[in-house]
Structure 1
Amino acid sequence: MTAIYSLVPVPFLIIALALVARRMRPFVCVASLLMWLQVGVAATVCLPHMAAGSAPLASGGLRLDAVGSLFVVLNTVVVASALAHAVGFFAREAEGAHGPSMRALREFYVFAALFLLSMYAVVVADNVGYLWIAVEATTLLSAPLVYYHRSHTALEATWKYLIICSVGIAFAFVGTAMLYSASQRVPMLGDGSLSLTALSGHARALPHGLLRLAFVFVLLGYGTKAGLFPLHSWLPDAHSEAPAPASAMLSGALLNCALVALWRISRLMADAGEEAFVQATLLPMAVVTVLAASLLMLRQRDLKRLLAYSSMENVGVMAAAVALGVGSGFALQAANHSLVKTALFLLAGNLLQRYGTKSIRQLQGVMCDQAAQGILLLLAAVAVAGTPPFGSFLAEWQILAAAADGRHIATVAIVCVALAVAFVGLAVQVGGVVFGDPLPAGREERGGAGASTLAVPAAMVMASLVLGTMLTPKLIALVAGFGR
């Protein structure tokens, strides 16, 4: 079990260095290298427990199983990629008239490391109470990343994020209390238990009425944190106002945590024989989320808000996988979305620094100005829209096939239409940015993106392509035992 705790030292080392560093340029380079060391640590610890049939590590309310292992590695890769890109990102910001202060950079790296630790806590929690605390911690520790620029709009987005997600987590707390109350009705659980392993082992004995009510409250709580419609209003503001590396972490890693929380509780419901109730409550919410996000994408004029609504659309697809119990589809969709959306937000950050605007209308003709950036942006948009041969296409196909097998024909039809609308929205908006006529005046140009700022996005897009073409059978076999 001590293997889980080996994930802790590197983030705390980054925090310590951030607090004592006198020159931030060397520090951000060291922090980036340390995070890639953390990727190696996470892979070493987690890969043996990711395969189907492998024994999980469990102790003290923590459990490292296939689910936790996958998301520990995935979230670590996202944060490492964001901090690698941040080296050049913050260096370019420092060249401007209003570059980041030493205090702002210290806070960014301290809270980024703490944020990663809180996400670890979510995905390895084997206790419903610990799970609730960890999800709330991700909100509190990521809020300073949203407020990084200290602007009025960033302050508004931060408070909106904190208030809405805190209200949501209050609902999840009520659901957690109801689960504990339900466990007290089972003699084999003594005075009650919040252990997911214990609850699952006696799920059939839990009072089903109370269990259903608990799931509704948990769904409202963690659904708010995931950005499910109509609980999503914090998501576009927070993603838009945060600096690009933070936006990448919010979209590529944070949203996964809320969905993992829903997955854990939904599997408990399945053990209790309540799969139909989970589908009746979560599946319509997921479908409406995909449809609403797709329609909202059509009218966006801000590039980062467009990407935020794309994240919301992908969350809806993953929530559908959770509702249907399609573990491998959920895992594959989460992996591809995390990789590609990280690339998209980092590329959007490059454009914002280059042109000083997030307005899609002011970002026309990137291909004429920066061909490599334009090609990567186009490929990433195609990948996140679920187009073959990228991995998200196979994930969405698998989820829709499961829905069809379960005779959810209306779900399949609505989601297919919504995905087509989302594809059109991304194609029109991103196509204009890439291929539109460059504006002759009216935007400030601050210098092109160098190779270092394109390396991480290129690697993320390539990884999604590999998942969709070369490694998909191995990945599906790896997560075939994707369970609690």
Structure 2
Amino acid sequence: MEIQELLIILMLIPFVASIIIWFAPNNYKVLSILHVLGAILNAVVGLSIVSSVINGQTYFVFNDMFFIDSLGAVFISLISVTGLLVNLYSVKYMQWELDHKHLEVKDTKLFFSLFHLFVFTMTFSVLANNIALMWVGIEATTLSSVFMVALNKNKKSTETGWKYIVICSIGLAFALYATVLLYSAGFNVIHDSHSAMLWTTLIAHAKDIDQYALKLIFIFALIGFGTKAGLAPTHTWLPDVHSEGPAPSSAMLSGILLKCAILGLIRYYAVTGNSLAGFEYVQSLMIISGLITIFIASFFLLVQHDVKRMFAYHSIAHMGVIAFGLGVGGPIGLFAALFHALAHSVTKALAFCVTGNMIQVYGTRDMTKMGGLIKIAPITAILFGIAVCSLVGVPGFAIFVSEFLMIKQSIIGNLNIEVTLFIIGLIIIFIADFSHFNLATFGESRSKVLTNELPLSANLPLIGLAALILIFGLFTVSPWVTLLKNAVNIIIGI
């Protein structure tokens, strides 16, 4: 089958799966089977496409309005792999919600249907070559995921849902301004309305586009897509949204959605950097944004006792780390930023899914009321430890690789003050995390234990995520390295 046909199928699978689940009978077994089949099929097709562009190929469909290249393939990998494992975990998690009578079968049906619609909108935004359609896709991710966040329909989750819509929509209005301005500036050079909307054409003509217009455009893009990605100071929606939704939706929001917004920002970063405005301009803005975000998140982490809010602030901190990598720039810095997207995706998916297990054990998200997890549920405790060790950059875990490369490139580039601040921020995160980890994992339980170790069906997808964290932390995965190097070449215009 041709890659172009697979691209169309990749966009259709989650959309069709969402519709089928919506019209399926209110039978949880049927719904869960359809849900898993849709996820598996999406992952198989997605990874097949990725394998076809590892060496730098590019394929277009629908009059060049959608495409796949090595850069887009990096993010399709996240949707395929992380999405599949979180989907598998969600089946057991939703069963727990039914057993505890927190939800009804019709609610799980809505959740599964929205889950696949959410995957469709993220895939749509990643594959869009037309910058207006990319914006539409990222905006649509908000609308498709907000009802997953507010699934419980209580006052807190409803308020959180509205906050999510309002702040992200206002933020993305700035991204819309960037889209309109980039089209206008591009049209003055390209003189073709269709081509002036295509990212591949815009980056090819970047040096001919007015540099002062692009400088303004990038600021709008940074505010707009930065809001959706959780960069400070427009990050305020993220801790509430990621902590209120069910664990699988939090895993998808943090593990994949934030990276889709980062990709939107990278598209504008590449166009502006390859213009006469130069990479120094965009890198300076990204370093400032990254460091501010890291420090704001790290200080909030020190006082978090709600395990889901703790991991939510980690999402903010690590979006700051990716921004810092883009700010450091150069082949190594950009490679590290893209590597961090994968490392954070699998790590944060594991972290949020583990919170689902912990809530089943203790019936609370408050770590001051936990304790003794290593005795009560040792597998969950080990998985919790792997997530925390990766998040704080312990050697041997995936996130250490990207953070080490960022520090290395900073030293090479004589960014001594910047890298010192970066390391200080990481140290604060390290101290905060291990104090919370010790509180929940060791000692005696400080509350009634509702259940002991969770069944293998719940832990198996999490073990898969943990394995990926260790594999990417300990070994050089050659196909992945090749894909990232080709993606970096696209960004820097080689």
Q: What per-residue deviation string (whole Å, max 9, x for no partner) do you get for residues 311-343 of structure 1?
A: 111111111222344332122111111111111
Letter in 2 for 1:232: H
Indicate the SS of the match to 2:197: coil
Q: What's the counterpart of residue 254 of structure 1?
A: 257
Q: Please give the alpha-carbon distance, in whole angstroms, between the structure 2 residues aligned to 1:8 and 1:125.
A: 11
Query: Which residue of 208, 223, 227 corresponds with 1:224?
Result: 227
Q: Matches of residues 6-25 of structure 1 in structure 2 within 5 Å?
A: 6-15=9-18, 16-25=20-29
- Is 1:268 aligned to residue 271 of structure 2? yes
Indicate the SS of the match to 1:140: helix
Letter in 1 for 2:372: G
Letter in 1 for 2:134: L
Query: Which residue of 93, 106, 110 corresponds with 2:109?
Result: 106
Q: What's the counterpart of residue 49 of structure 1?
A: 53
Q: What's the counterpart of residue 153 of structure 1?
A: 156
Q: What's the counterpart of residue 399 of structure 2?
A: 392
Q: Compared with structure 1, are the counterparts of its residues 19 and 444 closer, same or farther at alpha carbon in structure 2 (3 Å cutoff)?
A: farther
- Is 1:334 aligned to residue 341 of structure 2? yes
Q: Compared with structure 1, are the counterparts of its residues 191 and 83 closer, same or farther at alpha carbon in structure 2 (3 Å cutoff)?
A: closer
Q: Matches of residues 36-435 of structure 1 in structure 2 within 5 Å?
A: 36-51=40-55, 53-57=56-60, 59-96=63-100, 98-186=101-189, 188-189=191-192, 193-273=196-276, 274-325=278-329, 326-435=333-442
Q: Please give the alpha-carbon distance, in whole angstroms, between the structure 2 residues aligned to 1:357 and 1:33.
A: 32
Query: Which residue of 449, 453, 458 corresponds with 1:453?
Result: 458
Deviation at 1:275, TM superposition (A): 0.8
Tell me, yes or no, if the aligned pair for 2:196 and 2:202 is still in contact at 8 Å. yes
Tell me, yes or no, if the aligned pair for 2:47 and 2:77 is still in contact at 8 Å. yes
Query: Which residue of 455, 469, 472 corresponds with 2:474?
Result: 469
Deviation at 1:18, TM superposition (A): 3.7
Tell me, yes or no, if the aligned pair for 1:18 and 1:27 is still in contact at 8 Å. no
Deviation at 1:187, TM superposition (A): 5.5
Deviation at 1:447, TM superposition (A): 5.3
Tell me, yes or no, if the aligned pair for 1:57 and 1:65 is still in contact at 8 Å. no
Q: What per-residue deviation string (whole Å, max 9, x for no partner) do you get for residues 376-399 of structure 1?
A: 111221012111111211111112
Q: Compared with structure 1, are the counterparts of its residues 333 and 192 closer, same or farther at alpha carbon in structure 2 (3 Å cutoff)?
A: closer
Letter in 2 for 1:354: V
Q: Please give the alpha-carbon distance, in whole angstroms, between the structure 1 residues aligned to 2:15 and 2:195.
A: 35
Q: Please give the alpha-carbon distance, in whole angstroms, between the structure 2 residues aligned to 1:56 and 1:392.
A: 31
Tell me, yes or no, if the aligned pair for 1:157 and 1:237 is still in contact at 8 Å. yes
Q: Please give the alpha-carbon distance, in whole angstroms, between the structure 2 residues aligned to 1:192 and 1:175.
A: 17
Letter in 2 for 1:285: S
Deviation at 1:352, TM superposition (A): 1.1
Cα RMSD of the aligned pairs, angstroms, is 1.8
Deviation at 1:276, TM superposition (A): 1.3
Q: Please give the alpha-carbon distance, in whole angstroms, between the structure 2 residues aligned to 1:238 and 1:221.
A: 18
Q: Compared with structure 1, are the counterparts of its residues 315 and 188 closer, same or farther at alpha carbon in structure 2 (3 Å cutoff)?
A: same
Q: Compared with structure 1, are the counterparts of its residues 113 and 340 closer, same or farther at alpha carbon in structure 2 (3 Å cutoff)?
A: same
Deviation at 1:148, TM superposition (A): 0.9
Q: What per-residue deviation string (whole Å, max 9, x for no partner) do you get for residues 342-376 of structure 1?
A: 11111101111222111111121111211111111
Q: What per-residue deviation string (whole Å, max 9, x for no partner) do you get for residues 173-214 of structure 1?
A: 111111122123325557981211111121111111111111
Q: Please give the alpha-carbon distance, in whole angstroms, between the structure 1 residues aligned to 2:194 and 2:355.
A: 52
Tell me, yes or no, if the aligned pair for 1:186 and 1:192 is still in contact at 8 Å. no
Q: What per-residue deviation string (whole Å, max 9, x for no partner) do you get for residues 2-45 of structure 1?
A: 22111134323422134222311232133113312321111112
Q: Please give the alpha-carbon distance, in whole angstroms, between the structure 2 residues aligned to 1:401 and 1:56.
A: 34
* More moved, 370-379 vs 260-269: 370-379
Deviation at 1:54, TM superposition (A): 2.6
Identify unmatched segments of 5+ residues in structure 2: none
Q: Please give the alpha-carbon distance, in whole angstroms, between the structure 2 residues aligned to 1:102 and 1:437.
A: 36
Indicate the SS of the match to 1:8: helix
Aligned length: 480
Q: Please give the alpha-carbon distance, in whole angstroms, between the structure 2 residues aligned to 1:92 and 1:308.
A: 23
Deviation at 1:444, TM superposition (A): 5.6
Tell me, yes or no, if the aligned pair for 2:58 and 2:67 is still in contact at 8 Å. no
* More moved, 180-189 vs 236-245: 180-189
Letter in 2 for 1:41: V
Q: Please give the alpha-carbon distance, in whole angstroms, between the structure 2 residues aligned to 1:125 and 1:400.
A: 33
Indicate the SS of the match to 1:285: helix
Tell me, yes or no, if the aligned pair for 2:378 and 2:453 is still in contact at 8 Å. no
Q: Please give the alpha-carbon distance, in whole angstroms, between the structure 2 residues aligned to 1:431 and 1:187.
A: 59
TM-score, normalised via structure 1 length: 0.95
Q: Please give the alpha-carbon distance, in whole angstroms, between the structure 1 residues aligned to 2:223 and 2:174.
A: 6
* More moved, 309-318 vs 23-32: 23-32
Identify unmatched segments of 5+ residues in structure 1: none
Deviation at 1:431, TM superposition (A): 1.8
